[in-house]
Structure 1
Amino acid sequence: MSSYKHKKVISIGTVNELTGLSLRQIRYYEERELIYPERTKRGTRKYSFSDVETLLQIADKREEGVQTYEIRKDLQSSNKGKVMERMLRGQLNAHFRMNK
């Protein structure tokens, strides 16, 4: 079951209110491949709570002068680590369930 934090249910207007970022900034970060909202059949963007957290981290880094390509590199390496951690956890769970 997927965590509520990862469900894409939040509109761009709500993300704007939660983060204080302009609609243009949010769209720009999508263009720069820093976030990946889902699109409805009508093309409406939908974000998750984890996307909102990521946007806040991006905003903080941008205020510090970090360029978007550097942020993307950091996010990609962070995501690789999370994927490896989930894979390892899954392997351990599978192994110990089989041995019970």
Structure 2
Amino acid sequence: MDNNQTYRDKKVMGIGIVTEITGLSNRKIRYYELRKLIFPERTPSGTRKYSFSDVERLMEIAEKIEDGVQTHEIRKDIVKKEKHKMIIGQINSHFNRNGYK
């Protein structure tokens, strides 16, 4: 496991558990993956593995879909949030390397 990875980000759950937690069908979850809204890891045998963060994202996606938001709009929002997280991480890394706390 990556040292920066928290328990929330570790991919440990199969799709069956995720469907139980979220109430979403396997088909919907796979569709969200196809639309590049969720990114499960694959085991060598091809089994999808999800994290607690993935479950949270799936719940957010389901709520937005229910509110009428299109998948391409959700994807744009996800990309924007990921870019923001990356920039914040780079800024924090820069200050930590240079002795600022």
Q: Same-fold call, TM > 0.5?
A: yes
Alignment match of 2:95 (pick from 89, 92, 96): 92
- Please give the residue correspondences for 1:1-100 in structure 2 after superposition, counting only pairs within 5 Å: 1=3, 2-96=5-99
Q: 5+ unaligned residues in a row in structure 2: which ranges?
A: none
Identity %: 55
Counterpart secondary structure, 2:85: helix
Superposition RMSD in Å? 0.9
Counterpart secondary structure, 2:39: coil
1:54, 1:42 → 2: CA distance? Answer: 25
Q: Which amino acid aligns with 2:65?
A: R
Q: Which amino acid aligns with 2:20?
A: E
Q: How many positions carry a matched residue from both structures?
A: 97
1:42, 1:10 → 2: CA distance? Answer: 15
1:85, 1:16 → 2: CA distance? Answer: 32
2:13, 2:91 → 1: CA distance? Answer: 31
* Structure 1 residue 72, shift from structure 2 partner: 0.3
Counterpart secondary structure, 1:27: helix
Q: 5+ unaligned residues in a row in structure 1: which ranges?
A: none
